[in-house]
Structure 1
Amino acid sequence: MPLVLTRTDLTGLVAPADVVAVVEQAFADLADGTAAQAPLSVAAVDDDVHFLPMTAVSRRAGLGGSKLLADIPRNRDRGLPAQRSVLVLSDADDGAPVAILDGGLPTRLRTAAASAVATRWLAPDDARVLGLVGAGGLALEHVSAIAAVRPLEQVLFWTRSDGTAAAFVEQVAARHPELKAARVDTSAAAVGAADVVATLTPSREPVVLGEWFHPGLHVNVVGAPPRPDHREVDGEAMRRSRIVVDSVATALHESGDALLAIAEGAVTADDCRLELGDVVTGRAAGRRSADEVTLFDSVGLGLLDVAIGRLLVDAARAAGRGLAVDLSA
């Protein structure tokens, strides 16, 4: 019978390194054609509420799945998350329902893992300092995932919120006592002193500028919602970088970081056509020189939800977690 898995059921089930491994394989499968990703579409009756079904199928996972993402910025005024989601998984052969999962934790885990895969292939091998612009829900998972692929020694982070800063320092100390997490005064400081950067804000306007980039830097652009008018980095950041995307179709449809830079003439659409899966499979080079600046533009793929869904469902069954429900009764 299919499992219903709550956020509590899913917490602590899998190790970051295992999530990174399945996400990396999912990128390779997409490049190899053994997984398929449906075009990203948006259902909306106004600009305040967007519903995005993110659908994919994976032969390796033996699953088809769809995550329904609700992007509702005004939820913040209600004290609610701006994004909520639920993930539905079905058997790839006969369509039988396999599981229904709260989408929040899988989203955080796979988003951080995607950044870690990009970091593994694009960042300097000796990267030691991680810079975070934003310290909210995605931040701790990024520390854990990137620490799985690089020997991190320090985390520098910028946030406007004193409460968020205090909570993040406490979380890092609890999970990674070997790492020092230090708050900096500006986002420029978080970028300037880092080897690897992740932008983790739901910003509509740039919070990171290309003029701050230094030779050898790798940047994961992660936080902005999949809306073509939202961005975290400016056109100069895109122009100064070798751009790698999770999916060309997704980036050129929903990534404001890419689309606004193209509209400004900072880059062209052709500059945004290198997919991470092609790097992972060796069809394209990873980091090409010590001084190269690389940027991973991450919008989010339903395939990654399916891949981590397989990992989580198997772990939940092994641990005896979740509620088995006969949906056909």
Structure 2
Amino acid sequence: MLSLSSKNVFELLSMNDAIRVIEKTMISVSNDKCVLPLRNVIDVSSSNRLGIMPGVLSLGGLYGVKVLSLFPENPSKGLSSHIGVVILFNPETGAPAAAINADALTAVRTAAATAVATKALSRMESSKLTIIGTGEQAEAHIEAISLVRNITKINIVGREMTRAKDFLNKVGGRFPNINFTAFKNVKDGIKGSDIVCTVTSSKKVILFGEWVTKGTHVNAVGASIPIFQEIDESMVLKSKLFVDYRPSALAQAKEIIDGLNSKAFDSSHILGEIGEVLSDKVKGRLFPSDITLYRSMGIAAQDLACADFVFQKAKKEGYGVFGDIT
């Protein structure tokens, strides 16, 4: 079995490569080519969880599982909040073929998936971006979205102004052609933005629909299980809603679950999966004034496709450490 570290992943998987891989993968997902059970999450303590995401990209072909610890306080210890491994199996023998660092893989693939949706749904001329959150996903999203839109101004919103400013100082040198501004208040931070991304682990709504103006594209990314919620029901109602994978969104996106239960809307409010937009089965943005919303849950297909890209490239270029576990 080949073991690949976070350093290996970052060296082998560029954001541009990840965007191309995710684009192709999401089309396959929407063409029912994949077997994707819902994410299973187990409490391991009062605040920490273990997530298990198995999947099959094609019957008789690539399959594997991501096992991920979700420890929200890890960043204060200098560690990722998402720590785990993606295991790929040999489809001919069933033997484990690769163990790949999931922290790095998740960081890249999540932002790449957002970029794919942003390219498909935001206005072409979009140049102003707001990132709500200052964690590890925030920087990855700046890189990814800057690859699909000509971003010239970015507002960073953090719970504490000092954290927002620290993050701004960290990324400013990496993106010298972008004008950064730090905010503590979300309502002020999204004013004038063409694209808004929520990348937090908030259990309380941080982005309200009444604040979002016409023409905006919103990526709601951070809440992957129903105990978290970043956007409110009005944000869903006033938007043209697209998701990565319907079964996940219907079962695990709290604002969608609550809206369905209250009969504020029905499942047809989800206009399509992003793969359906990419393959022209469903129309995305129709008018410049549309408010579009991409509800990202994160799915195993994204992890497995990016993991396989890394695995195949690692074998060719001699990366990683081989170990026999038989």
Q: TM-score of the superposition, structure 2-length normalised? A: 0.91
Task: Please list the CA deviations of residues 144-174 of structure 1 after superposition, one character each: whole Å capped at 9, or x if unmatched.
Answer: 1111111111111111235533443244333
Structure 2 CA distance, aligned partners of 1:60 and 1:182?
A: 48
**Structure 1 unpaired stretches of 5+:** none
CA distance, structure 2, for counterparts of residue 60 and residue 12 of structure 1: 30
> Quick one: which of 210, 229, 232 aligns to 1:231?
229
Aligned: 1:190 with 2:173: no
The answer as to whether partners of 1:258 and 1:272 remain within 8 angstroms in 2 is no
| Aligned partner letter, 2:312 | D
- Offset at 1:265? 4.1
Residue 111 of structure 2: SS of its match in structure 1? helix
Tell me if 1:33 matches 2:38: no
Amino acid at match of 1:258: I
Residue 129 of structure 2: aligned partner: 130
1:137, distance to aligned residue in structure 2 (A): 0.5
Q: Partners of 1:193 and 1:52 in 2: how far apart?
A: 37
Aligned to 1:311: 309
| C-alpha distance 21-77 of structure 1, shift in aligned 2 (>3 A) | closer
| Structure 1 CA distance for aligned equivalents of residues 69 and 271 of structure 2 | 27
Distance 1:67 1:133, change over 3 A: same
Query: Which deviates further from its counterpart, 319-328 or 262-271?
Result: 262-271
* Unaligned ranges ≥5, structure 2: none
Deviates more, 1:276-285 or 1:311-320: 311-320
SS of 2:89's partner is strand
Report the CA distance between 1:71 and its aligned residue. 2.9
Q: Deviations over 1:181-211 (max 9, x none)?
A: 2112411122222101100110111100100
* Count of equivalent residues: 326
Matched residue, 1:290: 288
Q: Any runs of at least 4 consecutive aligned residues in structure 1 with deviations exceeding 6 A, and if so which?
A: 76-79
| Cα distance, 1:106 vs structure 2 | 0.6
For structure 1, which segment, 190-199 or 8-17, has the greater mean C-alpha deviation from structure 2 after superposition? 8-17
d(CA) in 2 for partners of 1:170, 1:322: 33
SS of equivalent to 1:99: strand
Could you say if the C-alpha distance between residues 93 and 291 of structure 1 is closer, same or farther in structure 2, counting changes exceeding 3 Å?
farther
| Residue-by-residue CA offset, 1:90-118 (whole Å, 9 max, x unaligned) | 12343232210121111111111111111
Larger deviation: 243-252 or 82-91? Answer: 82-91
* Residue range with higher mean Cα deviation, 262-271 or 122-131: 262-271
Return the alpha-carbon distance in structure 1 between the equivalents of residues 183 and 72 of structure 2. Answer: 27
Give the 3 Å change call, closer, same or farther, for CA 145–79 of structure 1 in structure 2: closer
Match of 2:266? Answer: 268
Tell me if the contact between 1:59 and 1:92 (Cα under 8 Å) persists in the aligned partners: no
What is the SS of the residue equivalent to 2:12? coil
- What secondary structure, in the 3-state scheme, does the structure 1 residue paired with 2:231 have? coil
- The change in CA–CA distance for 1:84 and 1:257 in structure 2 (over 3 A counts) is farther
Where in structure 2 are the equivalents of 1:198-217 lying within 5 Å?
A: 198-217=197-216
State whether residues 209 and 236 of structure 1, in contact with CA within 8 Å, keep that contact through their aligned partners in structure 2: yes
Report the TM-score when normalising by structure 1.
Answer: 0.91
Distance 2:127 2:38 in 1: 37
State the alpha-carbon separation in 1 of the partners of residues 75 and 115 from structure 2. Answer: 28
Quick one: distance in 2 between partners of 1:289 and 1:242? Answer: 11
Shift of 1:47: 6.2
